Structure 1
Amino acid sequence: MKTESKPKIDQEVHNSRDSMIEHLWHGRIIDYRILSCIVTQQDALQPLIKNREQMGHFVTNKPEDNQITGQVEVAQVLVPTTDEHIDEDSDVNMDQSALYQPPLNQSCDTTLRKGMQSSGLYQKHPLDCDLLAGFGKYLRYDNNIPNFKQEVANVSRFLFYMDSNKPSLDFLSNLEKSRSFFTKLADIGQKKQTIANYMKNLKRFIRYIITITDRAVFEQCKHFLLCLNELQKSMSKQVSREITGKGYIQMVSVAKTPKECWEILRVAKNEFVCIIGKAMNEESLLETEQLHVLYYLESLLMLKHLQRAGVIKHLTLSEWLSRSACKLPDGENWTVIGVKHKTATQQVATILLDEEEDAWLDVYYRHVRPAFLKNSDDMQEDERFFISTTGKPIYNPSNDLQRFHAKYNLPNITSQVAGQVLETNIKASFTDQEKSLVADYLAHKTATAEKHYCLKTTVNACMGMKLISKVAMSIESDSETAGPSCASRSIKGALSSSKKLDEAQTWKLFYEHFPVTIDGQSIKTKDRRLIAGTHERYCYDKWRSQQEKMRRDNVIAHFPRREPTASQVERYIERQNWEKNKVKVENVLCYWQPSINTDTPKYNKAIMKLVKSQKWKGLDIASDPDKGKRS
């Protein structure tokens, strides 16, 4: 700046002065309400405020010291047998990263949060007091609940509402106030399911109290549980009505289209591909770019592959490394991943990836995942495939999907909604054979299947995923004025547009989808072309020839001993109700042979014995005037 003119120097000094004044006025002033939204525990909030004030910041809207409720430990009669504190390394329901999070003032200004704060229902006792710490260990070790802190926090809020001075068991004798806690939650606007969760957590807390208390308190707990059970029954009915109402709203709302469900994949793909290119060129990636790769892959598996969030969460490193290759008859290479999970009756999910998607996941495994592991304090590598920026397993892929939509200002689409939309689209525009292939890939009973199930094979699953991919390709190529039938037209002949197959490979694939049976109906031309493509006529002629031979053998087997007449064969064929590909009568008569030996054995022991003894049963000698004696 020394070489610049004096007016420019004066302008720069003026701008710097304004910037400093702006920082002094706004950068050093913090609202207490925003801090209380970030840090909900008073014992942690007060040291933070004190530290900020020592650093020269100003905290506005701060309450007086006498308004801050003190915390008192519970009586020693309820101290658990051990005095260990809750392990701070346990799983906690926390966000993975600050990236793509909404601003703090937005989450704090919602009506529900403001109502909870103004009513004091967010206030709670410290979780490290003896009573709550013992309850936490009871959940973690006795009930094997890893994410127990949310339950402990809910119970702590209830105890604070009942007695703000200290956590105690006085609520057992105050049923009216206990009932008012749940009524207050409902009046504020909490969902019925949330209130039911509070009841469930409180019920589990009372069971814990029963294990550590005396007979007198046991009777109080028993009476309180009876009353709480009645509240739970009533709340369960309200939860059912709430779910039904939600389903009705979804039914009458404007239906989503596959294009809307996969819009996030289309919008974010260009940036995603650029980041993948940087990673493949061994260039360093920013944390935001690494997180973009993670979110895009999660969205891809949940929205396009229609996998549940639990499948994404429980995909392990060993399952990824043990993935197998599947080569289709048309020469395409696919990757098969089996995932064990516990989110549905189908305990093993199958993920089918094409070559491009497999390469994307491999880039994440080689470049992004190791960078996340460096942020972890644990020296042992986690077994989960998808991990967060902290190096720990992702907590909820649905939350990541919601953040990814929020980044691009798109409405949130869940995997469940995407599955319902795709099922509706498939049912309207796909053939029965295509529905069967898609249902085979999804591996669970859906509306698209309509009872068209066959033996699950990797080839069938790959074909089903190809049909789903064709829907995505048709969406990308459709114009804004395209009609609803464009998707079905682009899907028609999806498999026939691939590389040419030889006749033997095509026949093998054709036979898997259309097994030859005696009573099998004729196959429609569009279904034959979908599988066989240009070899459709060759495969169908061979299929008809095999069926005709099976029917001819069936007719011959009906006449095993004596050669039938033409009229007998014709009547039998008519009774079979074969509309097409009927077997000809002359072919049956030409190929007929007895199925058993009709000749008498040359040496029959019974006959030889009768010949020697001449004692024939029913044989007698009679005299005839003309011929004499005869037998």
Structure 2
Amino acid sequence: MTNMGLYQKFPAEEPILSDFKNYLINSLQVPNCQQEVDNVSRMLRYIQPSGDKVSLDFLLKHTETRDYLTQLRRAKMGPATILNYIKNMIRFIQYLKTHLDLAAADGQFYKKCQSYIDFLVTLRKPVAKDLSKLTTKTRFYQHVDGLKSLHECQAVLRMAKKDILTIYGKLMDGDQVASDEKTIFRYYCEAILILGHFQRPGMVEGIQTNEWEKRKNAGGKVCLAVTEHKTATMQIAVCALTMEEAAMVDAYYTWIRPHYIRPDVDNQNRLFVSSTGKRIRSAGYDVTRLQTQ
């Protein structure tokens, strides 16, 4: 996508995109919306390749819109990713319809917005069909080839444990720990929850510091409950760590995480943060990176 120019965006301070972000956060209660705003910004940048401000003329540029989605396919983006771009753009147009000043300036504004949404819905149908076919194909091969065993899934934990214990020893002794060792240690802690306790990446990304501080000891296990996750909204995610696993996560929390905290960066009190101080974006990718170390 970078080589094809599909990652280019409007400046972050562009007024209409900045207002859209505020709309997502304050009106729709979507705090983690930067990816959605970026997707819209990239799509608009392709449709309008010049200028620092978004022109509403894009509502009439159906050909350019279709071309961008075609370019995403050529860049080997999967149907799920393309559907996200379409969904994000539809929500952006719905946001535009709330601007009474835009409607007052253009008597046909609402009609243009609805026409563009209808066009996006039409483009969405074949992409949704492709996603359905891909899902069916994936499940077929899982049925034929079989899923990985529990032992295979946890191989990365076994292979990494020796190095992780070495880093843990350095932390306990107060020795110098390299930045890459700190990162690997965090990856391992995330892998404990995902591979060792079958938690979804969204649960790991959503753990807050106060939830870790409120963990409970029960029957020789350390029970952790998390409220923000991508499962049933009326349930909390719970897992029971061994004492050793809990000691690893607490070592990260006590000795590594504080080095990454920055007063000018809002990490939303997440337990796991990156070296830049921001909340982690993809625990699943972090586990993959641990495997490739």
Q: TM-score range by the shorter chain?
A: 0.7 to 0.9
Partner of 1:336, secondary structure, is: strand
Match of residue 233, structure 1, among 114, 125, 131: 125
Residue matched to 1:351: 239
The 8 Å contact of residues 171 and 251 in structure 2, kept in 1 or not, is answered as: yes
- The structural deviation recorded for 1:225 is 1.9
Following the alignment from structure 2 to structure 1, what is the Cα–Cα distance between the partners of residues 249 and 35?
33
Match of residue 316, structure 1, among 179, 204, 208: 208
Q: CA-atom RMSD, angstroms?
A: 2.7
Match of residue 384, structure 1, among 264, 270, 291: 270
Superposition pairs of residues 164-313 of structure 1, within 5 angstroms: 164-166=49-51, 167-212=54-99, 213-214=102-103, 215-253=107-145, 255-313=147-205
Superposition pairs of residues 540-579 of structure 1, within 5 angstroms: none
Superposition pairs of residues 21-32 of structure 1, within 5 angstroms: none
- The structural deviation recorded for 1:303 is 0.7
| Alpha-carbon distance change, 276 to 252 in structure 1, aligned in 2, over 3 angstroms | same
Superposition pairs of residues 436-515 of structure 1, within 5 angstroms: none
Q: 1:58-103: per-residue Cα shift (whole Å, max 9, x none)?
A: xxxxxxxxxxxxxxxxxxxxxxxxxxxxxxxxxxxxxxxxxxxxxx
- The structural deviation recorded for 1:255 is 4.2
Does structure 1 residue 364 correspond to structure 2 residue 252? yes
| Alpha-carbon distance change, 151 to 288 in structure 1, aligned in 2, over 3 angstroms | same
- The structural deviation recorded for 1:398 is 1.1
Following the alignment from structure 2 to structure 1, what is the Cα–Cα distance between the partners of residues 75 and 223?
49
| Alpha-carbon distance change, 277 to 206 in structure 1, aligned in 2, over 3 angstroms | same
- The structural deviation recorded for 1:382 is 6.0
Partner of 1:351, secondary structure, is: strand
Partner of 2:42, secondary structure, is: helix
| Alpha-carbon distance change, 161 to 390 in structure 1, aligned in 2, over 3 angstroms | closer
Does structure 1 residue 152 correspond to structure 2 residue 37? yes
Percent identity of equivalent pairs:
33
Greater Rg by CA: 1
The 8 Å contact of residues 341 and 347 in structure 1, kept in 2 or not, is answered as: no
Superposition pairs of residues 411-422 of structure 1, within 5 angstroms: none
The 8 Å contact of residues 320 and 337 in structure 1, kept in 2 or not, is answered as: yes
Does structure 1 residue 117 correspond to structure 2 residue 3? yes
- The structural deviation recorded for 1:299 is 0.8
- The structural deviation recorded for 1:127 is 3.6
Following the alignment from structure 1 to structure 2, what is the Cα–Cα distance between the partners of residues 401 and 351?
18
Superposition pairs of residues 69-88 of structure 1, within 5 angstroms: none
Letter in 2 for 1:312: V
Partner of 2:271, secondary structure, is: coil
Return 5+ residue gaps in structure 2 as ranges: none
Q: 1:272-301: per-residue Cα shift (whole Å, max 9, x none)?
A: 111112222232322222222211111112
Superposition pairs of residues 120-131 of structure 1, within 5 angstroms: 120-131=5-16
Partner of 2:98, secondary structure, is: helix
Partner of 1:117, secondary structure, is: coil
| Alpha-carbon distance change, 294 to 221 in structure 1, aligned in 2, over 3 angstroms | same
Following the alignment from structure 1 to structure 2, what is the Cα–Cα distance between the partners of residues 380 and 225?
34
- The structural deviation recorded for 1:401 is 0.6
Does structure 1 residue 403 correspond to structure 2 residue 259? no
- The structural deviation recorded for 1:359 is 2.7
Following the alignment from structure 1 to structure 2, what is the Cα–Cα distance between the partners of residues 382 and 190?
30
Structure number having the greater helix percentage: 2
Letter in 2 for 1:359: A
Q: 1:252-286: per-residue Cα shift (whole Å, max 9, x none)?
A: 34642333212111111111111112222232322
| Alpha-carbon distance change, 361 to 174 in structure 1, aligned in 2, over 3 angstroms | closer
Residue matched to 1:338: 225
Following the alignment from structure 2 to structure 1, what is the Cα–Cα distance between the partners of residues 90 and 266?
37
Partner of 1:219, secondary structure, is: helix
Moved more, 194-203 or 151-160: 151-160
Aligned length: 285
Letter in 2 for 1:199: I
Residue matched to 1:142: 27
Following the alignment from structure 2 to structure 1, what is the Cα–Cα distance between the partners of residues 272 and 35?
23
Letter in 1 for 2:35: Q
Q: 1:427-467: per-residue Cα shift (whole Å, max 9, x none)?
A: xxxxxxxxxxxxxxxxxxxxxxxxxxxxxxxxxxxxxxxxx
Q: 1:539-558: per-residue Cα shift (whole Å, max 9, x none)?
A: xxxxxxxxxxxxxxxxxxxx
The 8 Å contact of residues 265 and 278 in structure 2, kept in 1 or not, is answered as: no
Following the alignment from structure 2 to structure 1, what is the Cα–Cα distance between the partners of residues 271 and 85?
33
Letter in 1 for 2:278: K
Q: 1:503-527: per-residue Cα shift (whole Å, max 9, x none)?
A: xxxxxxxxxxxxxxxxxxxxxxxxx
